[in-house]
Amino acid sequence: MTDTTQTVTGAEEPTRASLASMPLGKAITAGLRASMSADPRVLLMGEDIGTLGGVFRVTEGLQAEFGDDRVIDTPLAESGIVGTAIGLAMAGFRPVCEIQFDGFIYPGFDQITSQLAKLTNRHEGTLQMPVVIRVPYGGHIGAVEHHQESPEAYFAHTAGLRVVSPSTPHDAYWMIQEAIASNDPVMFFEPKSRYWPKGEVDLSDPQAPLHASRVVRTGTEVTLLGHGAMVSVLLQAAEIAAAEGISVEVVDLRSLSPVDYGPILESVRKTGRLVVAQEAPGFVSVGSEIAATVAEKAFYSLQAPVLRVSGFDTPFPPAKLETLYLPDADRVLEAVDRALAY
């Protein structure tokens, strides 16, 4: 597929020496290493993240490099992991927790939503909670039940949490470091199906702040918006549409809470149409919120209703049926055709 990624306006052209090619998973590893090297208060916690290097090998080699007092293998107890991280943050550390799979986060849900999200507000801002919770999420890997979910809307709905999701190795490298540097708790959703494809990382320039959305392909007729693994699907759909003479713009959401609406609204005012795509079920979702806000703030620019393409409002199916459940380029293009028909 041709590279249609747009360079961020105002960014200097990177030198070859500052560029590296790596998969998204290893970009997160490199980002974790950079943060741990820069700040001795940063430590990692999770199930099998030390000797094994994590199920997806994202923390591979870090325990040997930094020691088992900074890369800590924990019991299989998500509530205990998050609760311990809260205590460590109170003591001045900057813990990074790994939740092994998306569907395993629910035992820690109470700690995250009732404690982690609320402690800073409870203390009127005097107590900071610099905790990052890494969550491999989403489908496309043919896994069993509880291993392919997209629970990001629960946390985007929870006041007090920042929620982000990178779609490229470059963003993964920089966003994990920016999340760790944040004094607020950050839910860091990693699209596990994108762990392995390589991409270019500019090691000298993040190119966009943590909570910025950005245009990754320019177009004039329809705006496609998504986050995480869905961005690659949208770029594929945009390329197919271009071959049929349809000009499609693609916006990478990057941050789910807070949402940077500036580039989204600017794009919609130009194209007049918006299709929001996500792997998660559509009902009461991040896509629902964005559709409502765009309809409110760009109503007179819209030439068609905001359309949503999502997973179905059912539990994630067995692996053999995941291709029927997950949005693909064809379902996105069907929505593009509907938007253009108005």
Model confidence at 189: pLDDT above 70: yes
CA–CA distance, 182 with 162 (Å, rounded to integer)? 9
What is the per-residue pLDDT for 13?
57
Half-sphere exposure for 13 (CA within 13 Å, toward CB): 1
* Span 149-180, pLDDT tens digits: 899 999 999 999 999 999 999 999 999 999 99
Q: Is 340 helix (H, G, I), strand (E, B) or coil?
A: helix
What is the per-residue pLDDT for 145?
78
CA–CA distance, 279 with 102 (Å, rounded to integer)? 13
Residue 127 neighbours by CB distance under 10 Å = 12
List, by residue number, the catalytic residues.
Answer: 147
* Higher pLDDT among residues 318 and 45, named by residue: 45
* Span 89-146, pLDDT tens digits: 999 999 999 998 888 899 999 999 999 999 999 999 999 999 999 999 988 777 777 7
Quickly tell me which residue has 């997806």 as its tokens.
Answer: 56
Give whole-number Cα distances, 281 to 284, 287, 316, in Å.
8, 9, 9
What lies within 8 Å, CB to CB, of 287 at 6+ separation is 276, 277, 278, 280, 308, 310
Q: Which two tokens stand for residue 52?
A: 């094994």
CA–CA distance, 54 with 269 (Å, rounded to integer)? 44
Please tell me whether the peptide bond between 263 and the residue prior to it is cis, using omega within 30 degrees of 0: no
12 falls in which pLDDT band (50, 70, 90)?
low
Considering only CA atoms, which of 234, 260, 45, 63 is closest in space to residue 162?
Answer: 260
| pTM across the whole model | 0.92
Model confidence at 10: pLDDT above 50: no
Yes or no: say if 226 and 189 are a contact pair by the CB < 8 Å rule: no
Say what percent of the chain tops pLDDT 70: 95
309 falls in which pLDDT band (50, 70, 90)?
very high
Considering only CA atoms, which of 123, 128, 106 is closest in space to residue 41?
Answer: 128
Domain spanning 18-202: which superfamily?
Thiamin diphosphate (ThDP)-binding fold, Pyr/PP domains (3.40.50.970)
* Span 234-289, pLDDT tens digits: 999 999 999 999 999 999 999 999 999 999 999 999 999 999 999 999 999 999 99
Model confidence at 200: pLDDT above 60: yes
Q: What does the mean pLDDT of the chain come to?
A: 93
CA–CA distance, 249 with 221 (Å, rounded to integer)? 8
Q: Positive or negative, the Cα torsion across 51, 55, 61, 63?
A: negative
Yes or no: say if 50 and 59 are a contact pair by the CB < 8 Å rule: yes
What is the per-residue pLDDT for 14?
57
Q: What integer is the mean pLDDT of 82-93? A: 97
15 falls in which pLDDT band (50, 70, 90)?
low
CATH number of 214-341: 3.40.50.920
For the chain, report the end-to-end CA distance as a whole number of angstroms: 30
* Per-domain boundaries in the chain: 18-202, 214-341
Yes or no: say if 231 and 166 are a contact pair by the CB < 8 Å rule: no
CA–CA distance, 232 with 252 (Å, rounded to integer)? 10
Strand ranges for the chain from DSSP E? 19-23, 42-46, 71-73, 94-98, 132-137, 162-164, 186-191, 198-202, 214-217, 222-226, 248-252, 255-257, 274-281, 307-311
